[in-house]
C-alpha cells in the first residue's frame, strides 16, 4: 500500500512539474535540459521507489532547480552571442570611413595639384613677359646708342668713334651693352638666334651680300618700320629703308639678346 501511494505521489508530482514547465516556462521546452528532466521523471516512475516521500520530493525539487539553472545559462549564452554579433557588425561599419577620408584626401590633393599647375603656368607666363620686356628694353637701349653715332665717317677696318666700318660699328654699339660680337660680319652671323625677314624686331642684326655671291659682306642693326642703321661706305653711319635693293641682297638676321 505504501509503495502504491509513493508511485501515485510521484506520478502526480511529475504531472504537476510537466504542467508548470509547459505554461510557466515555455522557453525551456526547446532547451536540452527539458528533455533530461522528462527522462528523469520517466525513470522515477519506473524505477524502484524510495522508502520515504520526503527524499523523492527533495530529488524532484533539486532537478527543477537544475533545469532552471540550465535554462538561465542557455539564455545568457544566447544573449552574449547576440551582443558579440552586434559588436562585430558595429565595429565593421567604421571601415567605410577611410574610403571617405581617402576620397577627401584625394580631392584635396587634386585641388593642390591644380593650384600648383595654375601657379606654375602663371609663373611661366610672368617669366615670358619679363623676358620679352627685358629684350625690348635692351633693344631700345642698343638703338638709342646706335643713333648717337649717326654721321661718324666710314673707315675701312675702323672700330672707334673716329671712324667705323660696318662690322666695327655693330661690334662697338653692342659692346656698350655688355654683348660681345666677333670682329667681322661673316663671324657675327654665326652667333645668336636665326630670325626670318617677316619676324624681324628692333635690335636684330641684318646681314647682306652686296657682291651678290651669297657671301656675307655687310651688316647693320634693324630699327623697325622697315629701316636699319649701318656704317655705309658712301655715307658713314646712316639710316636706310630696306627697299627692293636691300631686300634683294638680304641673306638673313640674328637676334643676340
Q: Which of 6, 166, 177, 225 is catalytic?
A: 166
Q: Which of 6, 144, 218, 225 is catalytic?
A: 218
Bridge partners of 224? 227
Q: Is 225 noted as a catalytic residue in this protein? A: no
Residue 50 to residue 43: CA distance in whole angstroms: 13
Cβ atoms within 10 A of the Cβ of 31, count? 18
Residue 140 to residue 135: CA distance in whole angstroms: 9
Distances (CA, A) of 118 to 106, 111, 112, 184: 18, 10, 10, 47
Q: Is 249 noted as a catalytic residue in this protein? A: no
- Contacts (Cβ under 8 Å, ≥6 apart) of 135: 203, 257
Q: Is 218 noted as a catalytic residue in this protein? A: yes
Please provide the DSSP assignment of 187-244 as one string: HHTTSSEEE-GGG--TT-EEEE-TTSSS---EEEEEEETTEEEEEETTTEEEEEE--H
**Active-site positions?**
166, 218, 230
Amino acid at each position: 500500500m505504501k509503495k502504491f501511494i509513493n508511485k501515485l505521489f510521484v506520478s502526480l508530482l511529475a504531472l504537476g512539474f510537466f504542467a508548470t514547465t509547459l505554461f510557466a516556462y515555455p522557453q525551456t521546452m526547446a532547451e536540452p535540459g527539458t528533455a533530461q528532466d522528462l527522462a528523469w521523471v520517466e525513470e522515477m516512475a519506473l524505477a524502484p521507489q524510495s522508502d520515504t516521500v520526503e527524499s523523492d520530493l527533495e530529488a524532484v525539487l533539486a532537478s527543477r532547480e537544475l533545469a532552471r539553472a540550465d535554462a538561465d545559462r542557455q539564455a545568457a549564452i544566447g544573449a552574449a552571442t547576440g551582443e558579440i554579433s552586434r559588436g562585430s557588425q558595429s565595429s565593421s561599419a567604421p571601415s567605410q570611413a577611410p574610403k571617405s577620408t581617402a576620397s577627401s584626401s584625394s580631392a584635396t590633393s587634386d585641388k593642390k595639384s591644380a593650384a600648383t599647375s595654375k601657379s606654375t603656368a602663371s609663373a611661366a607666363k610672368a617669366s615670358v613677359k619679363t623676358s620679352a620686356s627685358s629684350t625690348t628694353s635692351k633693344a631700345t637701349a642698343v638703338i638709342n646708342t646706335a643713333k648717337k653715332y649717326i654721321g661718324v665717317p666710314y673707315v675701312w677696318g675702323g672700330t672707334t668713334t673716329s671712324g667705323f666700318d660696318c662690322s666695327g660699328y655693330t661690334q662697338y654699339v653692342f659692346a656698350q651693352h655688355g654683348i660681345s660680337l666677333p670682329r667681322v660680319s661673316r663671324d657675327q652671323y654665326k652667333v645668336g638666334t636665326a630670325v626670318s625677314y617677316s619676324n624681324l624686331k628692333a635690335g636684330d642684326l641684318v646681314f647682306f651680300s652686296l657682291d651678290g655671291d651669297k657671301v656675307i659682306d655687310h651688316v647693320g642693326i634693324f630699327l623697325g618700320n622697315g629701316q636699319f642703321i649701318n656704317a655705309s661706305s658712301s655715307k658713314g653711319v646712316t639710316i636706310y629703308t630696306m627697299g627692293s635693293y636691300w631686300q634683294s641682297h638680304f641673306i638673313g638676321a640674328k637676334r643676340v639678346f
